[in-house]
Amino acid sequence: MSTEHHIKLPEGSIEKTTTTLNLGPTHPATHGVFQNIVELDGERIVSAEQTVGYIHRAFEKIAERRPLYQITTLTDRLNYCSSPINNMGWHMTVEKLLGLKLPKRVDYLRVIIMELARISDHLICNSVVGVDSGAFTGFLYVMQYRELIYEIYEEICGSRLTTNMGRIGGFERNFSNAAWEKLEKFMAEYPAVLKEFENLFTRNRIFMERTIGAGPISGDRALNYGFTGPNLRAAGVDYDVRVHSPYSSYEDFDFEIPVGSTGDCYDRFLVREGEMWQSMRIIEQAYRKIQDMKGADADVYHADAPEYYLPKKEDVYTKMEALIWHFKIVMGETQIPPGEVYHSVEGGNGELGFYLISDGGRNPYRLHFRRPCFIYYQAYSELTQGAMLSDAIIVMSSLNLIAGEMDA
């Protein structure tokens, strides 16, 4: 891949006065594969061009060949730092298509998982901003608590990172005692850790001087570029899908949306910190609501939808109807209404949307993922215009670019 066609010569000159530097696709600090070809005038960036697609895995093409319940594994690998959010978003899209209503307890369980995933994602982003500015300690401290979040996922679905969690219609099993104990341990210990992590960075003079003023963007430009999520909120616009189009009973929870002002790296860091505190608040409220449920409600973990939710294996082996439903669901004989639906959730990076067109068959006719990282990476050249090279690195890590979501 030659870079000659990226070089822009100044008007009327026959030789270059700027240096071309190739940032990526292999990055330090394990950022993920995307490339940036920058023109440098000394230390300042004159122009930049981004190229992506180094991990294009053709999710949308693969999704046309998979039945709806097998696409969950593909959605895991979009924003893999917070895969449960992607899974739940997909399940909700299909439930919207099918017209399934879920019991409240399932919604609250989903909220707990999604907020844990959001904390996990923001922890990676903020600690990697620290690593990129030279502070490795914060990363090591918070990775311990990410390990605890992984253990909670393991108790629920068996897997740490690419979780494939839940089913269309709820969860595959109720949360075990071990899962609740680990969640309680997390709720008890994590706030102190987050406070310690904050103390390392938020009023740290070196960190503030590195990040304040690096890569600012105004609210208007951010909206025009299609920003969503913490990056948009840092620019001053309070758009959060959980509040604007509440899904999974988010309207029952009381939380705030942290909003920044200048949209630079420091604001993005603070917005993510604030969101982690709000996520803890939501988890505590959901936990209390679930503990308060009594009687039959307290054991529900899936919707009553035998046409779409696989029956229990004991029933499949002993009861006839369960066997028939199992066969129909797996072989694709269930009624999927044809139609098109767009559903979005607030992912770790913003509005993660699923545009699903179904023709009534087992596989989608067309599935498109509205991926926030892909859409806001376009703005990178504008964000780093005239900045120094080290600012460009910090901007890249503070935007939380996840290559899996960018290329899909």
Partner 1 sequence: MAIAIKNYSRATEYNNIMALTNETIKERLIAKFADQLSHFEEPYGLLTFEAPKELNLKVLQFLFDDEELRFRFLTDLTAVHYPGGVGRELAVVYHLHNLVDNIRLRFKVFTSIGQPDVFTATQLYSSANWMERETYDFFGVNFVGHPNLKRILNVDEMDYFPMRKEYPMEDQTRVDKDDAMFGRGDLPAAASTGPVETPRAANEPRTPASGTPGEPGQKQDWPSDTTKIS
Partner 2 sequence: MVMARPVRFNIHPIKADMKNNIGLADMPEGYPGEGFFATSLSNVVGLARKNSLWPMPFATSCCGIEFMATMASHYDLARFGAERLGFSPRQCDLLMVIGTIAKKMGPIVKQVYLQMAEPRWVMAVGACASSGGIFDSYSVLQGIDQVVPVDVYVPGCPPRPEAILDGFMRIQDLVGKESIRRRNGDRYKELLQSYGIQ
Residues that bind partner 2 (CB under 8 A): 1, 25-28, 30, 32-33, 53-58, 61-62, 73-74, 76-77, 80-81, 124, 139-140, 143-144, 146-147, 150-151, 155, 160-162, 174-178, 181-182, 185, 299, 403-404, 407
Stretch of 67-75, 256-264, 280-288, 312-320 lying at the interface with partner 1 (CB under 8 A): 256-264
Measured distance CA(401)–CA(284) in Å, rounded = 29
Give whole-number Cα distances, 33 to 23, 162, 361, 383, 403, in Å.
Answer: 10, 19, 35, 19, 6
Pairing of strands 44-51, 339-346: unpaired
Of residues 9 and 161, the one with the C-beta less far from partner 2: 161
Of residues 254 and 299, the one with the C-beta less far from partner 2: 299
Type of residue at 27: H
Of residues 186 and 201, the one with the C-beta less far from partner 2: 186
* Partner that binds at residue 30, options partner 2, partner 1, none, CB closer than 5 to 8 Å by kind: partner 2
- Residues in 83-122 at the binding interface with partner 1, rule: CB under 8 A: 96-97
CB 89 within 8 A of CB 352: yes
Per the structure block, which two tokens stand in for 374?
A: 């892909």
| Conformational region of residue 184, where left means phi above 0, alpha means psi within -120 to 50, and beta covers everything else | alpha
* Partner that binds at residue 185, options partner 2, partner 1, none, CB closer than 5 to 8 Å by kind: partner 2
Maximal CA-CA distance, the chain: 82
Non-local (6+) Cβ contacts of 294 within 8 A are none
Cα-only R_g, the chain: 23
Give whole-number Cα distances, 304 to 101, 170, 264, 289, 390, in Å.
Answer: 9, 9, 47, 21, 55
Work out how close the CB of 183 gets to partner 2 at its nearest, in angstroms, rounded to a whole number: 11
Stretch of 50-58, 166-174, 195-203, 298-306 lying at the interface with partner 1 (CB under 8 A): 50-58
Of residues 43 and 382, the one with the C-beta less far from partner 1: 382
- Where does 158-224 have alpha helices with state H? 177-201, 205-211, 219-224
Measured distance CA(107)–CA(347) in Å, rounded = 16
Per the structure block, which two tokens stand in for 193?
A: 């850790």
* Partner that binds at residue 220, options partner 1, partner 2, none, CB closer than 5 to 8 Å by kind: partner 1
* Partner that binds at residue 136, options partner 1, partner 2, none, CB closer than 5 to 8 Å by kind: none
Residue 377 found at the interface with partner 1 (CB under 8 A) = yes
- Residues in 324-353 at the binding interface with partner 1, rule: CB under 8 A: 339-342, 344, 351, 353
Q: Which of 246, 315, 385, 388 binds partner 1 (CB under 8 A)?
A: 246
DSSP 358-376: E-SSSS-SEEEEE-HHHHH
Residue 37 found at the interface with partner 1 (CB under 8 A) = no
∠ at Cα 326 (325, 329), nearest 5°? 80
Residue 22 found at the interface with partner 1 (CB under 8 A) = yes
Of residues 199 and 224, the one with the C-beta less far from partner 1: 224
Phi then psi for residue 291, to 5 deg, are -65, -30
Residue 360 found at the interface with partner 1 (CB under 8 A) = no
Tell me 68's DSSP state: G
Residue 220 found at the interface with partner 1 (CB under 8 A) = yes
Pairing of strands 351-358, 339-346: antiparallel
Residue 408: closest CA among 133, 132, 78: 78
Non-local (6+) Cβ contacts of 2 within 8 A are none
Work out how close the CB of 365 gets to partner 2 at its nearest, in angstroms, rounded to a whole number: 18
* Partner that binds at residue 353, options partner 1, partner 2, none, CB closer than 5 to 8 Å by kind: partner 1
Work out how close the CB of 57 gets to partner 2 at its nearest, in angstroms, rounded to a whole number: 5
Work out how close the CB of 185 gets to partner 2 at its nearest, in angstroms, rounded to a whole number: 5
CB 361 within 8 A of CB 367: no
Q: Which of 91, 110, 146, 370 binds partner 1 (CB under 8 A)?
A: 370
* Partner that binds at residue 181, options partner 2, partner 1, none, CB closer than 5 to 8 Å by kind: partner 2
Of residues 66 and 104, the one with the C-beta less far from partner 1: 66
Residues lying near partner 1 in the complex (CB under 8 A) are found at: 1-3, 22, 51-53, 56, 58, 60-62, 64-65, 96-97, 219-221, 223-226, 237-239, 243-246, 251, 255-257, 259, 339-342, 344, 351, 353, 355, 357, 365-366, 368, 370, 374-379, 407-408
